[in-house]
Structure 1
Amino acid sequence: MIELFRRNLPGVAVHFADMRKLALNCRFQGLLAWDSFFHLSLDDQRGMFPRFQAHAEPGAPLMFTSGNAEGEAIGELEGDRLYHGSLDPDEYRAQLDKAGFAVIAHVVEDPDCGRRTIWLAQQRGR
């Protein structure tokens, strides 16, 4: 994935790290956790909202995918077992609010996007 990113976006900085421990000491104009965030345990997901806040400039959008309801499941990708977890939508809203994000849009199982459940939030100004 890193090589694909570099090939498609040459010259753009790449950070490879465990998102649960991310501490880059800088802020970004936007954050994207697409098809990644829901592979964390429910408790690890809860712990990510302060990390999102710490890396978002005022007004920065945050987009991530989740499940459509609270729960955990094991799927499969290319023959490997793959964990999926999701908080309840009300808890996502509460976690976002606590971290200073306002929900802009929430689409459940978007048919135009591979039936993904998508969140778009924006960091409030400080």
Structure 2
Amino acid sequence: MSSAENVIGLYERHAGAWDRKRNHGGKLMERGWLDRFCGLVPPGGAVLDLGCGSGRPLASEMIARGFGVTGVDSSAAMIALCEARHPAHEWHVADMRGLDLGRRFDGILAWDSFFHLRREDQRAMFPVFARHAAAGSALMFTSGPSDGEALGSFEGEELYHSSLAPDEYRALLAAQGYEVEAHLAEDPDCGGHTVWLARQS
């Protein structure tokens, strides 16, 4: 099995370890970007969190701000943690690549998840985003800074990442009616994340 095909299984096997490490000791390094994203979502709006992991810190933070969160993750172990933490919200074990919930959302988040997909699968995700987007919906995702593939590691296993070129992301967003609100490569104030924030025009 290739490292790209192993991503789902890796997170399933190590859900507990990921949950412990992901909380950053209570520090929310994503706060600045999350503030910008939430500023584009109406109060009490519906947010779709793609690759929601264990529901913390980002889904938990959005719930604390009064948003209705629907979380999707391929790992059943991760979703079980979400359900235990936030039973009043909606959680689905599903692969984002084939997602069709039959609903539209005021905001869509794919933070530290979308970039685990192969590049061809990333290209195919933009119609999925649009299919779930209400008019004026915000979209925020993380990518790499340039076209290519990279291997990290987690709990001793290879962890696959890939990225398209920035110009291709812009073209894919525009083709689905999105306008880029903000983009920063390797943000030093956010752990070196490359972030895209867009909005349906």
TM-score under structure 2 normalisation? 0.59
Which residue is equivalent to 2:91?
A: 14
Cα RMSD (Å): 1.1
- Give the aligned partner of residue 27 of structure 1: 104
Secondary structure of the residue aligned to 1:97 is helix
**Structure 2 CA distance, aligned partners of 1:107 and 1:3?**
33
Q: Deviations over 1:16-61 (max 9, x none)?
A: 2100000111101110000000100000000000000000101110
User: TM-score w.r.t. structure 1 length?
Assistant: 0.93
List structure 1 segments (4+ residues) > 4 angstroms apart after TM superposition.
none
Cα distance between partner residues in 2 of 1:43 and 1:10: 34
Aligned partner of 2:132 among 35, 52, 55: 55
Aligned residue in 2 for 1:93? 170
Shift of 1:107: 1.0
- Structure 1 counterpart of 2:162, one-letter code: G
Which has the higher Rg, Structure 1 or Structure 2?
2
1:115 equivalent in structure 2: 192
Q: Which amino acid aligns with 2:88?
A: G
| Equivalent residue, structure 1, for 2:64 | none
Higher helix share: 2
Q: Distance in 1 between matches of 2:82 and 2:141?
A: 18
Cα deviation digits, residues 61-113 of structure 1 (max 9, x gap): 00000000000111111111111100000000000000111100001111111
Identity %: 57
Runs of at least 5 residues in structure 1 that lack an aligned partner in the other structure? none
Task: Report how far residue 8 of structure 1 moved.
Answer: 4.2
Counterpart check, 1:106 vs 2:106: no
Paired letter, 2:176? A
Structure with higher RCO (Cα < 8 A, 6+ apart): 1
Q: Which runs of 5+ in 2 are unaligned?
A: 1-53, 55-78
Q: Post-superposition shift, 1:7?
A: 4.3
The size of the alignment, in residue pairs, is 124
Q: 1:8 to 1:112 in 2, by over 3 A?
A: farther
Q: Distance in 2 between matches of 1:60 and 1:28?
A: 7
Matched, 1:79 2:165: no
3-state SS of 2:90 partner: coil
Aligned-partner Cα distance in 1 for 2:102–2:186: 34
